[in-house]
Amino acid sequence: ALLQAGDLRGAEAAVREAIDRRPRDPALHNLLGVILKRQRQIKPAMACFEQALKFDKKHYGAQLNLGNTQRETGDKPAAAQSYRQALTLKPKDPEAARLLACTLAETGDAAAAMAAFQRALLLAPQNGQIYADRAVAQYNFTRFAEALQDIERAIALPPARRDHRILRGKILRRIGRHQDAIGEFQALLRDDPGDPEVLFALGNVYRYGLGDLRQANDNYRLALQRAPESAEILGALCGSLLNSRYDDEAAHIEEANRLANRLVQRGNLPLAVIGDLQSIFLRTADYAGLARFGDRDRLMRYWVASNDVGRLHNQLGRVESDADRLSLVAYHRQWGDKMVALAKAQPIQPAPR
């Protein structure tokens, strides 16, 4: 009752009292883990799930919860193993199969992920969330045609979900159907005119799809009215302002630099945001701002993994020594080796004559 009422502290105290009376009860340890996880006490929660499994290695709930917690902390291989173990306990449970598929996709193992999604769909062919999750995976693997097919299937199945339509709009942008994407997002905005996620996605259509940076900036600013602390939206606005040539270009660059410094001062920046901020500081010769990004190796590893060679090249602006130069060349070689391997795996097929 306390947990249902949202009294997490009270629920935690009650469960701890019960554990004092029944210290080997796996269900109680699992429940305590759930309560602690909701309080964002991740490591103690994980310890509770592990304790539950010590007392009952066939406790399905604890096994699934352990996998969810491992996945949340970024330990994808351990999470995948936990989900596999959960599937041995309940081989016909589509939820464990779905979670395994999502985790495998997050590790970049496309073949294993698609096989796991197929298993999940065989177990629950009318589960729209499985189609939606597979659409996300296909999108991240840049298989946009397949992603669109999956999200259309998800949207056709109840219940109706707004996030599925947002994903459809994003996919439409990536396959060049920009007006269709705009129509999708504008329809969503009629229901909620200030939705920051939709406004951000709409801004991306104008920025990346149509090159209309005035419209992009307008939508990013509207999104920030609802989500003023969003690093993702602020970073996008910075990058778009830096490349804006309409009206007063110098004013756009000045605003971008001001916003970029505001973001950097907050700390704990997502790696995906740093690329745009780096470009701003290079453009304005703000080397103090560049220095705040810290470990260059961490950034270069990320850009190699993301195939973002432009951001990698921008690290030339931070070269101070021969060692820095050699490090940059080594990371560029890693990226080049990836591209060679990709080209071999996907050879160009000559057009029929």
pLDDT in tens, 34-60: 999 999 999 999 999 999 999 999 999
Statement: residue 319 has pLDDT above 70: yes
SS3 at position 210? helix
Asked if residues 62 and 29 have their Cβ atoms less than 8 Å apart, the reply is yes
Tokens (6 digits) for 338: 């990836």
Statement: residue 353 has pLDDT above 80: no
Distance between CA 180 and CA 232 in Å, rounded?
Answer: 24
Dihedral sign of CA atoms 303, 304, 307, 313 in order = positive
pLDDT bracket for residue 1 (50, 70, 90)? low
Tokens 């909701």 appear where?
38
- CB hemisphere CA count around 124 (13 angstroms): 18
Q: What is the mean pLDDT of the chain?
A: 94
Residues near 280 by Cβ (< 8 Å), separated by ≥ 6? 238, 239, 242, 253, 256, 257, 260, 286, 289
Tokens 């890693």 appear where?
334
Distance between CA 282 and CA 279 in Å, rounded?
Answer: 5
Residues 283-293: b if buried by 16+ CB within 10 A, e if exposed: ebebeebbeeb
Q: What local confidence, expressed as pLDDT, does residue 71 receive?
A: 97
Give the mean pLDDT of 90-114: 96
Give the mean pLDDT of 338-343: 83
Q: Minimal CA–CA distance to 207: which of 215, 196, 195, 198? A: 215
Asked if residues 26 and 62 have their Cβ atoms less than 8 Å apart, the reply is yes
Distance between CA 314 and CA 333 in Å, rounded?
Answer: 15
**pTM of the prediction?**
0.86
Asked if residues 271 and 304 have their Cβ atoms less than 8 Å apart, the reply is no
